[in-house]
Structure 1
Amino acid sequence: MATVKDLDALHGWLESAQRHEAHLLSLLHDAQAEVNMIKSRCAQLEAQKCPINRVPNELLISIFTFFVQDLDQDDAEAEHKLCHWRPVVLSHVSRQWRILALSTSCLWSRIVLSKASPVSAFDHFITHAGTSLIDIFANDIDDDQSTRHAPLVSSEYLPRSRTIAITTLGPLSMVNFLRSLYDPVIFSHLSTLKLSCDPPHRVWGTFFHGLPSRPDVRFPGLRHVQLVEVPIYSVPIGVFRNIHTLELSNPKQGPYPLTRFHPHLLNVLSAARRLEHLILSDFTPFIDHGTDPIGGGNPLPTIALPLLQEFIWYYPEVRALRHFFSHVSTPRLRNADFSAKSNRGMTQNVTPFAFRFPFVDDLTIECDTQETLYSATREMEFPGIRNLIIQTSIDKWDPTSSLPVFRWSAIFRDLRVPYLTRLTLFRLSITLDHIGGVFQYMPSLRSLTCDMCDGVANLLCALSAGDCACPIGKSIHEDHGLLELESLTFRDCDGLRIGCLQKWICARNGDGESRHTAVNRTQGRSVARRKIKPLSGKYKSRVQRPGPTPTTTSIEKGLEGLSLGRSSTAACYIPNYLRQPSKITFVSFDNCSGIVEANARELQRLGIDTVEWK
């Protein structure tokens, strides 16, 4: 009996537990449904909100693009060693940045390869670049790696290239690329082409025999071409049709130097009619005396470069300068930089005519000997020059070497430079015999710089007419020279006499009694020296006779007919005795023996705005 009662009690507890379990399962089901509903709602709100701690993708892409493309010279040189690391860094910051970086094709358009770069680097960049334009930089590629980087010169990628810069360590790799320039492919986007190779083999020319010529329209957007130790005859002539900048460097080295016959250069220049900047480094064209008009030969037709504005030529022989300008006309040349060297094995002939450059503003002349300095520009005229730098490559600190003497009459054919405002002398010797009348030809000179020059004390003594000056007994200032001079700079100049400089600055700026003397002298100079005579009767009647008032139209026509070209100085000439000297406002000393800081402070008391001493 007791057993039946116990069994009934257990069944009651079981039913109660089962009811409790069912209730709990119902609560769990309701809780799970509520959790799912809350998660769905949160996802909806998350998609709608714009949190302040997240940058929009469009702005991130703009920041990425600026970061990748903003390369200075140091960054570019560092990246040329292995690869373009900037987009790689962006893709490893976070998951979101990686997705954006890999999906933005313009970030991967700069492809940098070297002999240390794995093949997978090219595949990775070219894959993520997609169909965007690419810039190819291949550095130090040797002949053994030419097959590894064969895709670079394939017809699949070359038409998409904006910039191609390839440096090889052997001729085979460069020849493979040069052959691709002859393929029937239109380089519609190519704007910059830079090719550099080690001294090539003597059989360069055999690689290009029998190659078909292509139309010149294959390079419509090419603007900049640089060839370093690459023969110009190996490049299709169409490459030079539309360029604005041309850089050629072919140094002589090895038993088989590059062929640098002058007709090859003439062919290139005849095709480059839009050329604006020409840079030749160690490029000495072959001088064929049969085509030299000065030697009595049959001259080649003159090639005109009507748009050329800048011409830089490093280390040409003086005769090469003459030969070049006898065949090439540069009517609009503005900037010229010639680092000439002396003729070897041949003397310089005297030219009966001169090459005139009326629009040249900046001129730099560097020579290796005194004879070169006196003959480099002797056959040239620069009537409109404004900035002139004359320097020599002679070591000043060598006790056995003497610096070339600054003789203005031996450097230029036409001594008059009425528009010259800045003159820089570098490694020259200034003597009393040749400094007296030089600055009379520079009435507009405002800035004078002497760098590592000898005899600067002679210049200061001539300015102030000191006891050590030339026997003429009067200063350059009193001889109506350097009236516009405002700035003086001396670097590594020995033997400066601060007394002569102070005396001259006192006369120019005025200080106490010197100021009163300078003002009286200036006022006396501002009056014409000759006596003004009255007009004769016929001219007087013409002046007193009233005439019609000129209209605006007639005045404009008269102004249009008036031409004040820089080559003509008569229309704008003002007599020196009517001009007042300018105030010296800037003086700088850099590593000049004989000048101490106390001397610089004394000059500041003379009314100079800026005095620098190092």
Structure 2
Amino acid sequence: MSRPKPQEIDTRVAVIGGKLDVLAEREAELQAILDSIRAERLALQAEYDDLQSKRVPFNWLPPELVTEIFLYCIEDSHADPEALFDPIPVALSHVSRRWRSVALATPPLWRRLHLQLKDTAMEGFTRPAVDAFVSRRETTSVQLVYSDLIVEDDDLDYGLPVASIDDSSNRLHLFDQLVLTSLVISGGPSVLLDGLTFLRAQFRVFLRLESLELVATVTSAPATLFYHFKSHLNLAKSFRNPFDSQSFPCLKKLTLRDVSPALLPITNYPELRELTVQVAHIEHVQMYMPGMRVQYLARVLACAPKVERLVLMGGGPVFHARVEDGLEEGHWSRKSSWVFGLQSTMPPVPLERLRELCWTDAHPEAIYYLLTHFPANGLEVLDISLLDVEKHHARRPNMAQTVVPLTTLLPTAGLLPPVLAVPGLKILRVECTSCDVLRLPFLKLAFPALETLSLANVDPALATYPRRAPLPHLPRPESIFRDPRMPHLTHLILSAFGVLEEHAGTMFGYMPALERLDCDMVEGGMHVLAALAATRRVSARVMRCCPALRTIHLWECNDVQFPALERLVKLRNGFAEPEAVVPVVNGHIHHHRKAAEQKTGLGSGSAGERKIKPLKRSVRGAQIPQGLGGVEEMQPCVPITDVRIEKCKLISEEQARSLEKWGVEVVWG
């Protein structure tokens, strides 16, 4: 093949170049058309999506209102220490274009930072997720979660130091650049030591910190931390008068989970409203029960005069110290009161603003001891779950004396008042797993102003279905309370108990102001209805128990028959007359009329045999109005207006609805 001549090459190149120019021009024209079509398509798609989104009412809201809703989402959520980052803002920003724009324009939505132990060994925040949250929060204050759940670098040594505990060994100086409003420190000994050292530094003031939570997630952490502080804390160097310190001027909520109160900073907590102390790792309790002594809890509460809610979970403190009123003033401002050793005496710490006490796994005797160590005359709500000591011994014989202070309760017994009044208590909720437990905790306490009483049997055996064993019988009120009279009680809740026939009438005779009765899975419901329907003649008047009763709720009361309920409603609402009137003489049913009452079935013949004693004028200084003591002083009864029935096998919906003709509002569940 011959080689082309240069002239031919030039000609061919010129022709091809011309064609390329033409094609390029055509391509540019087509590209412009494509770009125009694409732009038009995207605009139409955006308009289409916008119109489609307007079908959803939520998208009608203005951005300002959407922002508020997003912020409510994060406010109502609890920080998860196991998460690498807060999932809520990330999820909200991936729903739609509009939601993402609103989320990215809301810095407070990104204020919760999750940092890991390894982050403290690096300069700055290096993980992309942390960087994204830091940049998006801008200057917003931070809710910080610090944990050690993910440690990828095995070369990093996070063992506890053996030197004294001071800020020089602190790894959290990086946090000084953050304005904290909430702080959660969760993990093992290293993370908690970092956090406690950071918090205990005297030069730091957390001006905006409102919530602090310390959580031990490793079973060995509580004992390791406590004994490390006990061995290495230089109290002479770190102590300062707590009442002169203002490290946490705005702290309102403090939570300790398997962390001893002894490890907290020595400072004042002027705005603290809620304190929670939880013992979760029960199998390791014995190793760190010294860290749960009552003196450590007392010195924190002594520096928190505005506490309104106290939550004790898993057993509470060990009552090793005797209460003495004569100790000198300023006891908690002295260094000797903050040592880690055992103290045999302590002054009572009044909690003037305490309104609510919640306590789980409480030893029955410990309630009285707690209220003597921490007098709370303004206490209004007591929510308590009682520990059955015998069952606990049988289930875990080696741990029974470490979960609750069984042996340490007794040394102070002779030095405490025989009866302690709680004059302001209005609501008492009690959970137990056996009736015997109810016979001990309240015999040394008086509740003259009680308005709501809830007694619930929460035995796990009740969860098995079908239930074969009968429910335990509720003890007489005299066996539960020192003075069973409850002149102000308006609401009674009974759950998973049996009520004996001979106890029903006496029990309701102690409650002249009762307005609402809830029976949840109660055996002996017929005895309850009979006691409420029973009629007594006192002097020249005819009386019934609980004359103010308006509301009755029955849930899974499988022995309640409709005729008895209907008869009660008709009697109370004035549509029937009693078939027998049983006279009461000095608090006793007159015996020659007892058979008549039994025959009618309206009341328990033996219910009135037990004498209902008149109330004393006062109970430990709490005045009780005369004339509210028992059936002798009852007022004419009011009609029943509300009946709720759920899962009662012997009552049909049609029968329940028929009560409406007697003026009752019926709710069928």
Deviation of residue 357 (structure 1)?
1.1
Structure 2 counterpart of 1:178: 196
Does structure 2 retain, via aligned residues, the 8 Å contact 1:82–1:116? Answer: no
Does structure 1 retain, via aligned residues, the 8 Å contact 2:246–2:268? Answer: no
Deviation of residue 233 (structure 1)?
1.1
Question: How many residues are paired up?
Answer: 501
TM alignment of 1:180-329, pairs within 5 A: 180-183=198-201, 184-198=203-217, 199=219, 200=221, 202-208=223-229, 209-210=233-234, 212-213=238-239, 216-238=245-267, 240-251=269-280, 252-254=282-284, 256-258=287-289, 259-288=291-320, 300-329=346-375
Say if 1:213 and 1:83 are closer, same or farther in 2 by CA, change over 3 A: same
Could you tell me how far apart the structure 1 residues matched to 2:99 and 2:468 are?
64
Structure 2 counterpart of 1:365: 430
Could you tell me how far apart the structure 2 residues matched to 1:473 and 1:497 are?
27
Could you tell me how far apart the structure 2 residues matched to 1:427 and 1:158 are?
55
Question: 1:507-561 CA distances to partner (integer Å, 9 max, x unpaired)?
Answer: 11133xx2xx48xx9xxxxxxxxxxxxxxxxxxxxxxxxxxxxxxxxxxxxxxxx
Does structure 2 retain, via aligned residues, the 8 Å contact 1:244–1:277? Answer: yes
Counterpart among 584, 592, 595 of residue 640 in structure 2? 584
What is the percent sequence identity of the aligned residues? 24
Range with greater deviation from structure 2 (417-426 or 591-600): 591-600
TM alignment of 1:590-605, pairs within 5 A: 590-605=646-661
Instruction: Report the TM-score, using the length of structure 2 for normalisation.
Output: 0.66
Structure 2 counterpart of 1:546: none
Structure 2 counterpart of 1:528: none
Structure 2 counterpart of 1:127: 135
Deviation of residue 570 (structure 1)?
3.0
Q: Which has the higher contact order (CA 8 A, sep 6+)?
A: 2
Say if 1:322 and 1:145 are closer, same or farther in 2 by CA, change over 3 A: farther
Could you tell me how far apart the structure 2 residues matched to 1:363 and 1:134 are?
38
Could you tell me how far apart the structure 1 residues matched to 2:151 and 2:288 are?
20
Query: Which blocks of at least 5 consecutive residues in structure 2 are unaligned?
Result: 1-49, 52-60, 120-125, 159-168, 326-342, 390-400, 582-620
TM alignment of 1:374-385, pairs within 5 A: 374-385=439-450
Counterpart check, 1:451 vs 2:516: no
Say if 1:593 and 1:292 are closer, same or farther in 2 by CA, change over 3 A: farther
SS at the partner of 2:346? coil
Say if 1:196 and 1:570 are closer, same or farther in 2 by CA, change over 3 A: same
Structure 1 counterpart of 2:557: 493
Counterpart check, 1:481 vs 2:533: no
Query: Larger Rg: 1 or 2?
Result: 1
Does structure 2 retain, via aligned residues, the 8 Å contact 1:182–1:213? Answer: no
Deviation of residue 227 (structure 1)?
0.8
User: AA paired with 2:234?
Assistant: G
Structure 2 counterpart of 1:109: 111
Say if 1:78 and 1:261 are closer, same or farther in 2 by CA, change over 3 A: closer
User: AA paired with 2:283?
Assistant: Q
Counterpart among 174, 177, 185 of residue 166 in structure 1? 185
Range with greater deviation from structure 2 (269-278 or 601-610): 601-610
TM alignment of 1:427-438, pairs within 5 A: 427-438=496-507
Range with greater deviation from structure 2 (386-395 or 337-346): 337-346
Instruction: Report the TM-score, using the length of structure 1 for normalisation.
Output: 0.71
Say if 1:188 and 1:260 are closer, same or farther in 2 by CA, change over 3 A: same
Could you tell me how far apart the structure 2 residues matched to 1:231 and 1:119 are?
32
Deviation of residue 250 (structure 1)?
1.4
SS at the partner of 1:217? coil
TM alignment of 1:140-159, pairs within 5 A: 141=149, 153-154=172-173, 156-157=175-176
Could you tell me how far apart the structure 1 residues matched to 2:448 and 2:321 are?
30
Could you tell me how far apart the structure 2 residues matched to 1:171 and 1:573 are?
57
Structure 2 counterpart of 1:18: none
User: AA paired with 1:62?
Assistant: E
Say if 1:151 and 1:158 are closer, same or farther in 2 by CA, change over 3 A: farther
User: AA paired with 1:444?
Assistant: A
Question: 1:154-190 CA distances to partner (integer Å, 9 max, x unpaired)?
Answer: 354465000112322x221121111110222110010
Counterpart check, 1:387 vs 2:417: no
User: AA paired with 1:504?
Assistant: L
Say if 1:226 and 1:401 are closer, same or farther in 2 by CA, change over 3 A: farther
Say if 1:499 and 1:77 are closer, same or farther in 2 by CA, change over 3 A: farther
Deviation of residue 302 (structure 1)?
1.4
Deviation of residue 201 (structure 1)?
5.3
Does structure 1 retain, via aligned residues, the 8 Å contact 2:489–2:513? Answer: yes
Does structure 1 retain, via aligned residues, the 8 Å contact 2:543–2:631? Answer: no
Does structure 2 retain, via aligned residues, the 8 Å contact 1:151–1:157? Answer: no
Deviation of residue 264 (structure 1)?
1.0
Deviation of residue 410 (structure 1)?
1.0
Does structure 2 retain, via aligned residues, the 8 Å contact 1:369–1:404? Answer: no
Could you tell me how far apart the structure 2 residues matched to 1:420 and 1:446 are?
8
Could you tell me how far apart the structure 1 residues matched to 2:635 and 2:149 are?
64
Deviation of residue 246 (structure 1)?
0.3
Say if 1:459 and 1:61 are closer, same or farther in 2 by CA, change over 3 A: closer
Counterpart check, 1:464 vs 2:533: yes
Query: Which blocks of at least 5 consecutive residues in structure 1 are unaligned?
Result: 1-51, 54-58, 467-471, 522-564
Deviation of residue 506 (structure 1)?
1.0
Question: 1:225-254 CA distances to partner (integer Å, 9 max, x unpaired)?
Answer: 011111111111326443111011013322
